[in-house]
Amino acid sequence: MNAKTKPNAPALTKGQILRVKVFQERAGLGDWAWRKLRNAATEAGVVFWYKVGNATFVDCDRFAEYLQNSRSE
């Protein structure tokens, strides 16, 4: 488990839209891993995050679709 991850952090669930830092915490991703994941998705033509002002959010449903599709390839 990532040292920064809280042991009782809620899981990612369907329908959630989370700020990136909350998403990273719940998914156990550091900044480097988040950038690699985002870059890989961009290369695949998939966007599961969006910006509103200075904040970036992640759509957990689109992220789940991306994971499902990337595993089936």
Apex 41 CA angle, 26 and 5, nearest 5:
15
What Cα–Cα distance (Å) separates residue 10 from each residue in 27, 53, 63, 72?
A: 10, 26, 17, 27
Q: For the chain, what are the domain ranges?
A: 17-72
Question: CA 18, CA 25: separation in Å to the nearest integer?
Answer: 11
Cut 0.95: pTM above it: no
For 12-68, the pLDDT digits (tens) are 777 788 889 998 988 888 999 999 999 999 998 888 998 999 999 999 889 888 888
Note whether 64 and 17 are within 8 A (CB). Answer: no
Note whether 59 and 49 are within 8 A (CB). Answer: yes
